[in-house]
Amino acid sequence: MNVFTTRKSLNEALAPLKEAKKSVGFVPTMGALHEGHLALVKRALTESDCVVVSIFVNPTQFNNMQDLDKYPRMLQADVDLLNSIGEVLVFAPTVEEVYPENDAYSPLDLDGIDQVMEGEFRPGHFQGVVHVVRNLFQIVQPTHAYFGLKDFQQVAVIRLLTKKYNFPIQLIACPTLRETSGLAMSSRNLRLTESERKDALIIFQTLKFIQTLKASKSPKEVKELAMEYFSAGKLRLEYLEIVDGSSLKALDAAWSEYSVVCIAAYCGAVRLIDNLELV
Ligand code: AMP
């Protein structure tokens, strides 16, 4: 499999494909790949002539240096996994390749959607995401880009940055893959002990609990009951928000057509996020 570490070598490989007007699907990741990532890559493989998967642990989106240090890195295993599902170009750049010295970036106005939930608890996180995605989009210049709804708010931010920077890229948001237990797949799950994996199930159980209450109660009432339900578990809740899926504004008295519940919580030292679209 082709692993490219410089933008120049990747561009050389992509040039003939672009000249031939082939579609390029792009799946940005931070590695430690699991079935959730592979679902994105498989979809890209069916929809695009060629697929680029980037593996880059982006330092600018971590507001906690310990989290960055502990983030799992396993490039060879990732490449082997990708090899087993099809032909893709892997882009595994250094920090200097993604952020060259002459790289100018001024924070992008995200119309407030970067201030709530993840944005509130991880200051600077979304500007880091915007910066890396902008640079990766500029390097790869894909026709299609695939993102997971597991990072629901991130998808909203990427939609907005694509529009604001006028990238001619079609974004495809893909559903969350879960373990059979309901736990959302995440690279961070590698850091959970067996008993923490069980404790973490309270997140999905709470999301489902909220779904069952939706028909008979207001978002405000549901949130109160859900917080109580969640507190019976062992996790430390950071936030539980019921929002309109487009504006990300918290819902209070009435449901919106597209209501989503988002949760972030610590399971031991590991921060987990999950969400559910309420139907
Ligand atoms: P990450 O490596 O965590 O930055 O994730 C790379 C991409 O994979 C992002 O678009 C994520 O939303 C997506 N992703 C991560 N976990 C899952 C999952 N369980 N199901 C679907 N997509 C996922």
Residues whose CB falls within 8 Å of the CB of residue 61, separated by 6 or more in sequence, listed in order: 125, 126, 128, 129, 132
Mean pLDDT per 10-residue interval, the chain, length 279 residues: 93 98 98 98 98 98 93 97 97 98 96 96 97 98 98 98 98 98 97 98 98 98 98 98 97 98 98 98
Report how far residue 82's alpha carbon sits from residue 265's, in angstroms, rounded to the nearest whole number.
Answer: 30
Domain boundaries, the chain: 3-174, 187-274
Q: What is the DSSP string of 91-132?
A: E---HHHHS-TT----PPP-TTTTTSTHHHHSTTHHHHHHHH
Residue 125 annotated as catalytic: no
Q: Which CATH superfamily is domain 187-274 in?
A: Pantoate-beta-alanine ligase, C-terminal domain (3.30.1300.10)
Q: Which CATH superfamily is domain 3-174 in?
A: HUPs (3.40.50.620)
Ligand 1, pocket residues at CB < 6 Å: 29-30, 36-37, 39-40, 147-148, 150-151, 174, 176-177, 184-187
Output the pLDDT for position 2. 87
Output the pLDDT for position 161. 98
Kindly name the residue from 37, 125, 131, 144 that is annotated as catalytic.
37
Report how far residue 138's alpha carbon sits from residue 88's, in angstroms, rounded to the nearest whole number.
Answer: 19
HSE-CB for 30 with a 13 A CA cutoff: 20
Task: Tell me the three state secondary structure of residue 26.
Answer: strand
CA 119 to chain centre: 14
Mutate to test the pocket of ligand 1, among 57, 150, 153 (most ligand atoms within 8 A of CB): 150
